Structure 1
Amino acid sequence: MSTTTAAIDFERAQEYITTIGLQMVMNVGMAAIILIVGFMIAGAVGRTIRTIPDRNPKMDPTIASFFASIAKYGVLAVVLIAVLTRFGVETTSLVAALGAMTLAIGLALQGTLSNVAAGVMIIFFRPYKIGDYVEIANTSGSVKDITLFYTELNTPDNKQIIVPNGQSWGDVITNYSAYPTRRCDFVFSASYDDDIDKVIGVLRSTFEADERVMKEPALFVEVKAHGASSVDYVVRAWCQASDYWALHFDMNKKVKIAFDSNDIEIPYPHQVEIHKDN
């Protein structure tokens, strides 16, 4: 082979390598752009769907949040396919490969898939919705978000709790916000020396004076037990669910003031010491 021919082959190899290199750089650059734009679009789509209830009160925020999660991951799946196609991976081959990998992925991600299935069941049966105060998986808090994979709770002391949907659906769910009214239970103690009817009358009048206490169901005030040093009285008052905690704290204060005004003693444990002379 002559020197001229070798030089031509070398130049062709350089051109080929340069072309392949430029093409690779362009593909990587385009893939990066597709990813960036795709993530931006996915986020924008999710945010747009989440804000639909703000414009249309008939749309439930819980459903909007769930479908926003589905739409976001759907857009990201399309973005991933577009990136792989950019690198020469044929869509038909990709679909075939995904089909072959489905069983393996399903076995490897049983927990994740069960969370998705549980998320669908939560949206379908609606045991709780965004804004409800619930107890799920031994954790209490207000439901802040429901996604395909988890439920986000916000505790009264402003902590974020992430509960996988599988645990939420597979455990006992207590929804304190499901019904518009709640019963607020109290136990108060008075001395054995105080007249029972008088104590019951003071308790009843104190609770009936509060506008948050509902007339129906009727207020219940009765003797609960004979304690070691006191007579215990139970009060059951119904109120709006939103007034529950405010009523609970306020009435403990008001009953103490009412007892003091009516000379009703609130007993406390006493210790008696007995000394023996040797």
Structure 2
Amino acid sequence: MSTATLEPTTFFDSTFFGVPLGTILGIIIISVIAIVIERSVTRYLRRFSRRTKVEPHVANNLALTFRIIVLIAAAAAISRLGGLSSEWIISISAIGAAAVGFASQKTIGNFAAGIFLIAARPFKVGNYVRIGTVEGIVSEITINYTKVLTASNNLVSISNQQIVDREITNFLYQTKTDEDLYCYTFELNFDHTVSAQKISEIFMEIFENYIDLPKKPNFIFTRSTAAERVYTIYLYVNEPETIFSLRPKIAQEVFQRWDEERAKIKK
């Protein structure tokens, strides 16, 4: 007559409400690790946000995004430990990834664009720039926004993600010295009433009044249509603020002389 032998049991083989204690211990360890990682990175993000002047809602979105990522990773690890099938894990990951993408697409994109601008440095504070249709002096660059002071004395905030998608012109001129020199360009249009030669003479006459600038203003003939001639004007200044007053002044003087020549032709 045979007798049954009992297998020795260990702590990990014991159960608590039907759940192996080893599994419970693994869940606790994973949870503790996830909490420690989440708290550590969240504190770092808050310090980084204060140091780089990130706006509060952006910092909160970044922290929320990371929490969701940690939660997904912990849930996947616990599911695997509990013996769930790979299909369940894939489903949980897909749902979590969709939530992260929906909640953080704009925030993460803007944050990444801010990092790119700071690293690539297409412009710096104090430069005169044109970003899309906005132009002026860069007054502040943060992870989230870049602020530009325009000629109308308005402070325009542009999200860094929009800046990356737009054409950027920095009017800082490269020189052989350390002195900043800005080469600002703008266009002036004239109809065909006054000859091209006379318009060139007007430019040269007006520009003689500005020989005290780092370089005398210059012009080139850009294009011509059936209705008008277009000229590009080059202004050279050391201080970007000078552009705000110099451009309208020169344009006014040129058009005033042009009007005088038109009046002579009509007589």
TM-score relative to the length of structure 2 = 0.47
